Structure 1
Amino acid sequence: MNFDDFNIRDEIKTAIGEMGFNKLTPIQTKAIPDGLKGLDLICQAQTGSGKTLAFAIPLLDKIFVPDKSPQAIVLCPTRELCMQVAGEITKAGSKIKKLKVLAVYGGQPIGKQTRVLKKGVHVVVGTPGRVIDHIERGNLELIGVESVVLDEADEMLDMGFRDDIEFILAATPRQRQTLLFSATILDEVREIGEVYQKNPKFIKISSNKRTAPKIAQYYCECNIKDKFDSLCRLIEIQDSKLILIFCNTKKSVNFISKHLKKEEYSVDAIHGDMTQKARDKVMNKFRNGNINILVATDVAARGLDISGVDVVINYDVAQNSDDYTHRIGRTARAGRSGEAYNLVVKDEIPRFNKIKKDNKITRRDAPTLGEIENFKNNRILNDALEIIKNENIDEYEKIIKRNDLDSSKIAGAFLKMLREK
């Protein structure tokens, strides 16, 4: 199947084509037909599975544009995921004239969001707290809502949003369609479904391996006293790529970022105790390439979609396989490939062995100093070979020949200059 096989608006088909999508992912194949029928769904699918389009297409297909009141609401656990989901829905609906999609979240002036809501919005994507804020201020009326989506439902419940979710669901019409998407189906997720859905159909997307084959996964066993040094050595062979480092606690995040800065790496950090404004500032630096290393906790990085993350390093082993999947899913986005490394100390081995059962993770020792030196030398030589292959260097060759210089020695001298500058 492809998207043209669905009986949906031509505008949606055109927009999805321009987004570069043609083949359906498993969650899209199973969820979209039932979503278009108006069925309530509980879908278990991992991050990066294409689930946003799986609910966006049924949601967009029944929007009646002349009615400027909210007809669909999507709840997300974090500001970052809100922005990502709203962006995806906007792209998928970009050919529907006068369609309005708005993301509402904390950390942004509420007045700006209020003004847009007053003008009329068809789809609201929001964090539970800010959605309730707008409801209580009279800015957001949900009486006309036909579709409700709970995205990353397990994460919202883990973060303590159950009361908020139930408050919002109670403010929507009983005859609405409710689509629930979750990486894991916790008891709390099932309870929400039992109370607020009508005979929901359960869809589970599973595979023998939890993670994408385009992510090469490795682990390095190390002593606790050598762990930071091993981290630095891994970074040294990454050739200035965008690197995301995960820690289990805010204390570890602060420790790692502080000491990497001392080693003169281009690094910053995000965690849950930072203000939204401070987190936005750091994220913009990472997205814009002003820093190439970001150290984060799971909650702070949940829902991040940063194009171009090449490497994920788990400085602390993830708490479970689902957290591991979320972490390494930050790389290999949009068809790219990526790498994931795990630094494992003795106390973490039992937990890591459980994760390893679900994932193909290859053992690899941290690079030695000699290997790092070879890597850096080869990187310069490869760059030189690219110049020889693709650029005109005749004038520079003449200078070497005119001065009767030994080419191998002059090349060695230039390599020394580049390495020691």
Structure 2
Amino acid sequence: MADGEVKEADENSDVTFKSMGLIDPLLEACANLKFLKPTPIQAQSIPYALQGRDIIGLAQTGSGKTAAFALPVLQNLYKNPSTLYCVVMAPTRELAYQISETFEGLGAGMGLRCAVIVGGMDMMSQSIALSRKPHVIVATPGRLMDHLENTKGFSLRGLKYLILDEADRLLDMDFGPSIDKILKVIPKERNTFLFSATMTTKVEKLQRASLSNPVRVAVSSKYSTVKTLIQTYLFFPFKHKDTYLVYLCNELAGNTFIIFARTCNDTQRIAILLRNLGFGAIPLHGQLSQTARLGALNKFKSGSRSILVATDVAARGLDIPSVDVVLNYDIPQDSKAYIHRVGRTARAGRSGKSISLVTQYDLELFLRIEAVMGIKLKEYPVDKEAAMLLNERVGEAQREAVVLMKEQHSGRNDKKGGFANKRKRGDDREER
């Protein structure tokens, strides 16, 4: 297949992992992980990858793309044992850890050594992990570049595979300069897999710089939501936003929620507000320490917390098996972000709900998202009188949350680091 030609993945393919030529240890690992049948992106990309071709995979989150690149790498590593065989670059720390878990699960019978190199963690312990000669490194680009420049004896000279996962997001998060530097110090004779939800101009440029005669494989070129997702909205005045949020959490008690907010500050505030009202809520955003972020994810995954309040750091890539409801506290900036958020529920054939909270200030964004997606969302049925009965108690919880937030901020501002400057920006960029 020529470069530029796109192979659309077939949903009804009868391809099996065995028919694609995977070796017995990997077939056994797939069975252990309950990977019973290749997903469309796996069925189309793995055979080309096993032939030694570079791959561009146009696939959205939840499509099974991690195994699509991990299986060919592990098969070739099994046949040609070597240290530091593959580097995977990911945009967020959480996604890096998740990719590592998939590699370790699939490579368990092969004695695979995998290292995660991300910001927010101790450089020295990472240097020790690198000195143990891992087969696979999963990293955020900035921290990987830090080690290339500062860790004695570490290089990527023997690299056989480079994988860029969520490439569109890697470039949106300003990792481009670090990626350019890394591309200059790795072997030209290698295989490169680039996976992206969209083929943006930046991704096209990166493809030309890093891939050789690649095969393009697309699961779907159109952004869409799954049929098992029930999408609704709730319209009300801005001043009652927290009240309606609490009303919905009460109405849907017993479900697991992800609540998406725009800023780190609001994410923290909402989690405190809900905890003040007796809900098991926990925040996840880019200004938490890596330990706190992983702890929040694990508590939510294990069920010890039923509500995860998050920025878009949790919108893409993360595989959280059972989420019943996605609540858009803030309307996302575009339809792509909306689809990534609501894609956290109704996964793997299960049903799910999404509810978007729309105020008078959100109408333009909300109508634009509906227009791009070509759908009209239904209004969520609500008892307004019952909601307003919560107003006074919610007001008290808001005041308590503000006091606690001020205490937390003053405590953090006393520490070294620049937390205050990040907080003032209200953004959620990853540290190196």
TM-score, scaled relative to structure 1 = 0.81
Aligned counterpart, 1:419: none
Q: For the residues of structure 2 that align with 1:63 and 1:166, how far apart are their CA atoms?
A: 26
- Judged with a 3 Å threshold, the aligned counterparts in structure 2 of structure 1 residues 360 and 9 are, in CA distance, closer, same or farther, namely farther
Aligned counterpart, 1:83: 97
Deviates more, 1:78-87 or 1:301-310: 301-310
Q: For the residues of structure 1 that align with 2:48 and 2:80, how far apart are their CA atoms?
A: 26
- Judged with a 3 Å threshold, the aligned counterparts in structure 2 of structure 1 residues 179 and 359 are, in CA distance, closer, same or farther, namely farther
Q: Alpha-carbon deviations, 1:89-134, whole Å to 9, x = none?
A: 22122232x2222222223333333333222211111111222222
Let me know the Cα RMSD of the aligned residues.
Answer: 2.4
Aligned counterpart, 2:318: 304
Matches within 5 A, 1:128-277: 128-136=141-149, 137-206=151-220, 210-277=224-291
Secondary structure of the 2:180 match is helix
Conserved? CA contact 2:58–2:221, under 8 Å = no
Q: For the residues of structure 1 that align with 2:328 and 2:176, how far apart are their CA atoms?
A: 29
Aligned counterpart, 1:290: 304
Larger gyration radius, structure 1 or structure 2: 1
1:108 correspondence with 2:121: yes
Aligned counterpart, 2:134: 121
Match of 2:329 among 315, 329, 332: 315
Aligned counterpart, 2:410: none
Q: Alpha-carbon deviations, 1:210-245, whole Å to 9, x = none?
A: 122232222222222232222112111223322110
- Judged with a 3 Å threshold, the aligned counterparts in structure 2 of structure 1 residues 146 and 208 are, in CA distance, closer, same or farther, namely closer
- Judged with a 3 Å threshold, the aligned counterparts in structure 2 of structure 1 residues 93 and 247 are, in CA distance, closer, same or farther, namely same
Q: Alpha-carbon deviations, 1:182-208, whole Å to 9, x = none?
A: 112221111111112112222222166
Q: For the residues of structure 2 that align with 1:206 and 1:371, how far apart are their CA atoms?
A: 43
Moved over 4 A (4+): 64-68, 369-372
Secondary structure of the 1:103 match is strand
Conserved? CA contact 1:148–1:178, under 8 Å = yes
Conserved? CA contact 1:68–1:120, under 8 Å = no
Aligned counterpart, 1:398: none
* Identity between Structure 1 and Structure 2 (%): 37
Q: For the residues of structure 2 that align with 1:284 and 1:299, how far apart are their CA atoms?
A: 15
Secondary structure of the 2:369 match is helix
Match of 1:367 among 378, 382, 404: 382
Deviates more, 1:15-24 or 1:207-216: 207-216
Conserved? CA contact 2:141–2:178, under 8 Å = yes
Aligned counterpart, 1:400: none
Match of 2:52 among 35, 38, 41: 38
5+ long unaligned stretches in structure 1: 373-421
Give the AA of the match of 2:169: E
Aligned counterpart, 1:11: 25
Conserved? CA contact 1:26–1:205, under 8 Å = yes
Conserved? CA contact 1:70–1:121, under 8 Å = yes
Matches within 5 A, 1:323-362: 323-357=337-371, 358=373, 362=377
- Judged with a 3 Å threshold, the aligned counterparts in structure 2 of structure 1 residues 202 and 231 are, in CA distance, closer, same or farther, namely same
Conserved? CA contact 2:281–2:305, under 8 Å = yes
- State the shift of 1:162 in Å: 0.5
- Judged with a 3 Å threshold, the aligned counterparts in structure 2 of structure 1 residues 209 and 142 are, in CA distance, closer, same or farther, namely closer
Matches within 5 A, 1:409-420: none
Q: Which is bigger in relative contact order (C-alpha 8 A, separation at least 6)? A: 2
Conserved? CA contact 1:209–1:360, under 8 Å = no
Q: For the residues of structure 1 that align with 2:27 and 2:323, how far apart are their CA atoms?
A: 29
- Judged with a 3 Å threshold, the aligned counterparts in structure 2 of structure 1 residues 5 and 354 are, in CA distance, closer, same or farther, namely farther
- State the shift of 1:47 in Å: 0.5
Deviates more, 1:288-297 or 1:172-181: 288-297
Secondary structure of the 1:27 match is helix
Give the AA of the match of 2:46: I
- State the shift of 1:345 in Å: 2.0
Q: For the residues of structure 1 that align with 2:178 and 2:203, how far apart are their CA atoms?
A: 14
Conserved? CA contact 1:244–1:313, under 8 Å = yes
